[in-house]
Amino acid sequence: MKVALITDAWHPQVNGVVTTLAKVVKILESNFDCEVKIFEPSMCKQFPLPGYDEIKLSINPWKTLKEFKEFQPDAVHIATEGTLGIFYRYYCKKHNISYNTSYHTKFPEYLNEYLKLPLSIGYFFERWFHQYSKKVLVTTETVRSELSKHNFNKEMLIWERGVDLNFFRPRVGETKNEMPVLLNVGRISLEKNLEDFFSLDIPNTRKRMVGDGPMRKKYEKKYPSVEFVGYKTGKELAKEYANADVFVFPSKSDAFGNVILESLSCGTPVAGYDVSGTRDILTEGINGYYMSDDLKENVINSLKLNRKWVRSSVEEKSWYDCVSIFYYALIFAKK
């Protein structure tokens, strides 16, 4: 099957959307006999997304049409709501081409945080964007419920993520840190609510921030005790997870959290809030704590958890299963 993947998020960006789509492409081609053609911003002239300078949007997405027509896809998936996604939504509708979409990011909350745009306008846009999709792939039951509350009446398919259990592994031996290490991995930006993590007052602990973003310089000055170490990838990233004692996930706006699965796979429990991104992944008292409104309490309780239980909680979260759901949706969209 020939698959056209339309995405405004692609390498060299470093985020959960790119990680997910890259895994999907690899497994579709190696296990499902698919040929995947990726239509992404580097094929066009670009401009940076305000507030997300590392994300480049296409100025002239129609430039990709020649390749799209020559490819003649059997199935189309529009992954993001950027300029490429909007253009192909228009093109597919005009030419009666079936397609699926996915909901990776809570853009209404993002637009509200950065531009003070009312949530009602953001969700109106989401309803419009996904209106003609055959199936809308959403990360969790909580996200589906939240969208339904905003009059989103499309057929939604739960599309959870996987984790590479062979790569993200627990640390060897029982060596403990002299002081517990509290870790966060991700983009250093306003909507991630990182100040709840940085301002935690838990004596005799270290706070470590892996990642980068527009708020890094400001936060480095404001929170000098936090260790800002920049982006880590590959084995260095896996080591950060494994060497931490608790992964602190303060975000209240993430639709999921690939980083949560990666941390749990390394045996490191997760502390956060009772929101999507934790509620559908964590089991209170087994691999983390999230039900208290007090993040400090959740962190302290997570420090007491058995790391073997934490690892065991995600041992059935495979990327193959994740891609199987995606493939099923592609078959449906062909009909």
Q: Is residue 176 part of a domain?
A: no
pLDDT tens readout for residues 200-251: 999 999 999 999 999 999 999 999 999 999 999 999 999 999 999 999 999 9
pLDDT tens readout for residues 52-95: 777 788 999 999 999 999 999 999 999 999 999 999 999 999 99
- Predicted confidence band at 183 (pLDDT cuts at 50, 70, 90)? very high
Residue 178 has pLDDT above 90, yes or no: no
**272 neighbors 248 (Cβ within 8 angstroms):** yes
Structural domains of the chain, count:
2
Same domain membership, residue 23 and residue 143 = yes
Same domain membership, residue 100 and residue 156 = yes
Report, as an integer, the average pLDDT of 248-257. 91
Q: Is residue 53 part of a domain?
A: yes
Residue 175 has pLDDT above 80, yes or no: no
Q: Looking at this protein, which amino acid is placed at residue 109? A: E
Name the residue among 283, 282, 288 with its Cα closest to residue 304.
288
* Segments forming the whole domain that contains residue 240: 181-312
The pTM of the full predicted model, rounded to 2 decimals, is: 0.92
Residue 158's domain is classified under what CATH number? 3.40.50.2000
Same domain membership, residue 327 and residue 305 = no
Contacts 24+ apart (CB under 8 A), 123-126: 123/147, 123/150, 123/151, 123/152, 125/81, 126/81, 126/150, 126/152
